[in-house]
Amino acid sequence: MASARASSSLLLFTSSVLLFATLCAATVPYAPGLLESFYNDTCPQAASIVRSYVLKYLTTDSSFAGAFNRLQFHDCWVQGCDGSVLLNSTSTNSAEREAHVNFGLRGLQEVDEIKAALEYACPGVVSCADLLILAARDATFLAGGPWWPVGLGRRDSRVSNDLSADGNLPFPVFPFDILVANFASKNFNAREMVVLSGAHTIGRSHCNGILPHIYNFTGGNNETDTDPTLNPGFAAYLKRNCPFGNRDNSIPIDSTSDKFDNAYYKNVQNGKGVFITDSTLITTTLGNSIVSSFAEGDSTFFQEFADAMVKMGNLGVLTGSQGEIRQKCQFVN
């Protein structure tokens, strides 16, 4: 269960929500079957349990903010927000978490711990899918980002497949037009794609997704095949921390990686995007205009990010009698 330290910090957290948070209204309608009040009668403490554990993890390692944010995206973008990214592989099936695009996925063990606490308090009530939505929202806020209300009532799927993940999630080497097409397939426009790319303002990344940017930009696969638009000093920094062939090292993905802010867009403008998908945002007039607006402090970034996260949370949800409420997020019941 959550430590006494986390419990006392939770009180401060709740107070700060009221006093200092950027509170974003729910301007995007929830998918049918989702309600902010869904657990009010069956597990009223659900949100506070998730929040206390997220706070505990971020107090120990602030980079978990990015990990929890990534988990929502990597779950919802593949067959909907159904907790499928959390399922283990079996002897006959390779699950989403084994996909190439999910290399280095973090937070899975922490999600299991949160789920155990929810099951202790309210057995068989709160889904793993909803847990991910709550954790991403709380982690974003704790890192200095916006707070937004969330609709709840999702249920968990029984299906997870690595090929589905690799076929739906954007790889970190996608150029602008392919990114736009990928997001359009989920009914997100180019601006929303650039907004959600702002999640790269928090957390860390393994070098696996960075290597093509500094060693294989044109397919040469050598130590000089680097994106020529990268700031030379930044390219050298990436190469020091991600040596040729080393997929496993990890680095912060933003100059203020512990804080949710607009520094990401400033970095992209200055040739300091970690991934090809970052640097590509300013290769078109449209993308460059949006990045410039947020880099200059456009006050709508927090609200637009919150709206996009709520919209993402509506993707492919299972409600009512669909799916199940898993007892453990790694396994179907």
**What is the pLDDT, as a whole number, of residue 263?**
96
Distance in angstroms (rounded) separating the CA atoms of residues 140 and 166: 25
Span 311-321, average pLDDT: 98
74 is catalytic: yes
Worst-scoring range by mean pLDDT, 8-17, 129-138, 304-313?
A: 8-17
* Average confidence score pLDDT of the chain: 93
Distance in angstroms (rounded) separating the CA atoms of residues 250 and 161: 26
**Dihedral, CA of residue 305, residue 202, residue 179 and residue 207, to nearest 10:** -170
Question: Is 60 exceeded by the pLDDT of residue 10?
Answer: no
**Residue 150 annotated as binding site:** no
pLDDT tens digits, 28-82: 899 999 999 999 999 999 999 999 999 999 999 999 999 999 999 999 999 999 9
Task: For residue 106, report the phi and psi dihedrals to the nearest 5 degrees.
Answer: -115, 165
**What is the pLDDT, as a whole number, of residue 59?**
96
**What is the pLDDT, as a whole number, of residue 7?**
45
Whether the CB-CB separation of 303 and 145 falls below 8 Å is answered with no
pLDDT tens digits, 76-133: 999 999 999 999 999 999 999 999 999 999 999 999 999 999 999 999 999 999 999 9
**Residue 78 annotated as binding site:** yes
Cβ-proximal residues to 270 (8 Å cutoff; 6+ apart), any chain:
231
Which listed residue (74, 100, 206, 213) is catalytic?
A: 74
Q: Token digits for 298?
A: 């456009």
**What is the pLDDT, as a whole number, of residue 27?**
84
Binned at pLDDT 50, 70 and 90, residue 20 comes out as: low
**Residue 223 annotated as binding site:** no
* DSSP H stretches of helix in 61-127: 64-76, 108-121
**Residue 50 annotated as binding site:** no
**What is the pLDDT, as a whole number, of residue 24?**
78
List strand residue ranges (DSSP E) for 115-249, in order: 146-147, 204-206
* DSSP code at position 206: E
